[in-house]
């Protein structure tokens, strides 16, 4: 379909298409240990299942609610990946360190846990509720990096942070969402720093699309009025990202809706620019 928003590719996708279909042998994740936070529902669950279908050796399912994680675990196809469940908050530093110690060496880390925080004018919202977005969407990224990065597969590991495409919009379009959108903006910049500081790890921030999840519903928007996407789109997109030829996207923020063939055709241009990184609109600072 034609892009409903400004887009670097002429083609826009709302669902899985052949180039990212995890069923193709070229996208095999055989032998890999894949960690997914927010794995108890929505995009996190779909992502875990997608990696299981393409040969992942072991899935590490992390989330707040054990019953939800067990439900995800029960949906993993038989004779595919083994799995382990850890019911803990991603903002619990001690809890995440214990998980990292139990997991050991890993290959793929998908950080999908999110919190919308509270909506409303900054001067009148409850500060503790407002700050919840930063605990889940910002602090947790640092906690996860400190706990897991030392055990990343030295031969090459992949890290993804799921973010909000709305952070690029004028604030007049997203009024009342200061907690969530500013936290997600901070997340993107932290991921850029992590990419710089860890050259042996592929690190990318991904807007998963507009998927009907609990977090999406918390924004109080009507899915019927928007070009919605399937949860399978970002799940398969993340599988596609997990291969050597995507290195040109390291340290970038990208959207799961973008056509990967058309995006790959721009690899040299993207790699030699600051495109898809966080900057100041109308004043791109490019070192001389």
The catalytic site residues sit at 180, 184
**CB count, 10 Å around CB of 49?**
22
**DSSP per-residue codes, 190-245:** HHHHHHHH-TTEEEEEEE---B--HHHHHT---GGGS--B-THHHHHHHHHHSSGG
What angle in degrees, to the nearest 10, is found between the helix axes of 127-134 and 178-197?
A: 30
Question: The tokens of 237 are what?
Answer: 């997109």
Smallest CA-to-CA distance from 186 within 163, 206, 216, 203 is with: 163
Smallest CA-to-CA distance from 89 within 151, 137, 42 is with: 137
Within the chain, what is the greatest distance between any pair of CA atoms?
55
Q: Which residues contact 74 (CB under 8 A, 6 or more apart)?
A: none
């Amino acid at each position: 379909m034609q892009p409903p928003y400004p887009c670097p590719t002429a083609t826009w996708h709302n669902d899985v298409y052949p180039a990212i279909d995890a069923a193709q042998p070229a996208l095999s994740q055989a032998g890999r240990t894949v960690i997914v936070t927010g794995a108890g529902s929505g995009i996190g669950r779909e992502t875990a299942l997608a990696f299981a279908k393409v040969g992942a050796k072991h899935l590490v399912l992390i989330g707040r609610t054990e019953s939800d994680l067990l439900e995800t675990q029960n949906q993993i196809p038989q004779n595919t990946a083994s799995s382990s469940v850890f019911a803990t908050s991603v903002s619990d530093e001690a809890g995440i360190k214990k998980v990292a110690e139990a997991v050991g060496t890993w290959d793929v880390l998908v950080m999908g846990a999110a919190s919308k925080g509270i909506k409303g004018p900054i001067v009148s919202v409850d500060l503790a509720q407002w700050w919840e977005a930063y605990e889940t969407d910002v602090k947790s990224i640092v906690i996860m990096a400190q706990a897991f990065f030392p055990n990343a597969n030295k031969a090459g590991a992949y890290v993804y942070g799921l973010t909000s495409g709305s952070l690029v919009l004028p604030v007049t379009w997203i009024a009342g969402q200061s907690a969530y959108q500013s936290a997600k903006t901070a997340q993107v910049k932290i991921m850029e720093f992590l990419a710089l500081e860890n050259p042996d790890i592929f690190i990318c921030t991904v807007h998963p699309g507009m998927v009907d999840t609990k977090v999406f519903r918390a924004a109080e928007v009507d899915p019927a009025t928007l070009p919605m996407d399937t949860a399978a789109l970002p799940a398969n997109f993340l599988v596609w990202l997990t291969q050597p030829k995507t290195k040109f996207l390291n340290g970038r923020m990208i959207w799961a809706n973008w056509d990967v063939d058309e995006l790959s055709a721009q690899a040299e241009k993207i790699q030699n620019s600051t495109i898809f990184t966080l900057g100041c609109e109308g004043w791109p600072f490019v070192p001389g």
